[in-house]
Structure 1
């Protein structure tokens, strides 16, 4: 069982259009509404894979009620912490070439009592969880150290933590030694304060995060693939997608694949790659089911080509 924590969830509406023409009246060729937020997406991917998951999240107002209903319809057990503010709604506009324009709302401001209730609820419901996945940005009212406190409490209770966040929240949490952190290339570059031009640069940056406290690093490098750096060394893998329809939630699907495959080693990396490649070929933030996966397209190696230049270098 995988428990997810999403401090700032959302309702995500995606419109598919022929082209984004500013100032024009655009007609969508398709649209959908999905539950949103990194941890929410991890739960959706875990459920789609046939595993049990609990989604702990603050919910408020009609949007929060709608979000809880959508998750329940996907077979996800929702553990709601009621908050006074309104759950946010986000909009994404997808073009045929894969370009995605996103408008993310700020979301509610949590009170000190709501913050503590959220932490306590995670502790109460994490009994028996194989992993706790803490994902996404923090809403207003939560300090960057909030994730660090959650990791510390979870470890005291004997739970394993996967952390997908960035900036000061990631930096603060490293001292509590999360079992795995999952940055993308931009977040990895930001964490070490320098550009990433090659796979070797990414490996070195991941090793620095491990030196700072992370026990393992699973880094998404976009079209270049993914990198896993842990106590046993570094592994690199790729799974080219035939076509990209929407990359919303692809990283979250990857994390779900990694955790459901055990959360360690090259086999889990291969599962992460298969899930991520499948996700980008689906509309909106739809999560892949087992039938969508193509494991045969995945390659992994411990002979990381350190000199390979990244297709999308981070400056």
Structure 2
């Protein structure tokens, strides 16, 4: 079983339109509403591919009730931590050209009791999980220590741990010794203060990171370890146009689909297969109309991934 942990889920709204014209009034069709947040997207993708998945997340207010209703129909075993702050919304404006503008609300602050309830829920839910992913942003004002404590709880349960976050929390996750970090190149530069990818990776490894799965946009993805800092690179044989929202989440899901049965870091051919799957699922997600879904192209893309 794979566990995802999403402290700041969202009700995702996706609006498709020809072109977003700033400063003008425009009429658009009804938005597509889906349960969202990075870990929720990972769980949805995995469930859609037949993997046993459990999601620990929060809900608050009317938006939280909507989140729970929409997720309950998707085959995800959800464990809810009630919080007072209302669940946030995330709105993606997807233009016909593929250009996408995303407006993400900040999740409201938790109380100390809610923080403890979160950790308690993780402790129970991680039992039986071979892999666990802690994904996304954190509520306003959350101390960095909560990321470390969450990862410690997941690792104590024996799970291979993935941290997909950004900013200072990426450094915290590295210091906590997560099995895998999953930034993109912009997030790596922001967190480490350098645009030199190898230097940035060196900072993460120096803090304690074990491995990094790096999203490189049109240039694909790369997997780096302390033993192989240069990394293994993979990319699709062509650049796709579509909605990139959720592509990184699909990559995490693809990676976990290979690694979870192992219950450890992949080696040799396992590593290449995990990276190929991450790239293929990420590409498939770009062609999907909303985040958290794959198209039928996922398997076909596996044959189009160039790895080396």
Match of 1:8 in 2: 8
1:148-181 deviation per Cα after TM superposition (whole angstroms, max 9, x unaligned): 1111222233222100111121212222210000
User: Using the alignment, how far apart are the partners of 1:289 and 1:247 within structure 2?
Assistant: 13
Matches within 5 A, 1:1-315: 1-28=1-28, 31-196=31-196, 202-233=197-228, 234-240=231-237, 243-262=240-259, 264=266, 265-288=271-294, 292-293=298-299, 294-301=301-308
Mark the runs of 5 or more structure 2 residues left unpaired by the alignment: 260-264
CA change 1:118–1:273 in 2 (3 A) is: same
Match of 1:306 in 2: none
Greater shift after overlay, 20-29 or 142-151? 20-29
| TM-score, normalising length: structure 1 | 0.89
Q: Which secondary structure does the structure 2 equivalent of 1:280 belong to? A: helix
User: Using the alignment, how far apart are the partners of 2:73 and 2:84 within structure 1?
Assistant: 24
Residue pair 2:6, 2:57 contacting (<8 A) in 1 also: yes
Runs of 4+ in structure 1 deviating by more than 3 angstroms, as ranges, are 240-243, 289-293
CA RMSD of aligned residues (A): 1.7
Residue pair 2:130, 2:158 contacting (<8 A) in 1 also: no
**1:34 Cα deviation from its structure 2 partner:** 1.3
Mark the runs of 5 or more structure 1 residues left unpaired by the alignment: 197-201, 302-315
| TM-score, normalising length: structure 2 | 0.91
Q: Which secondary structure does the structure 2 equivalent of 1:50 belong to? A: coil
Match of 1:312 in 2: none
- How many residue pairs end up in the alignment? 296
User: Using the alignment, how far apart are the partners of 1:224 and 1:88 within structure 2?
Assistant: 32
1:28-69 deviation per Cα after TM superposition (whole angstroms, max 9, x unaligned): 256311111111111011111110111101101111111112
CA change 1:37–1:59 in 2 (3 A) is: same
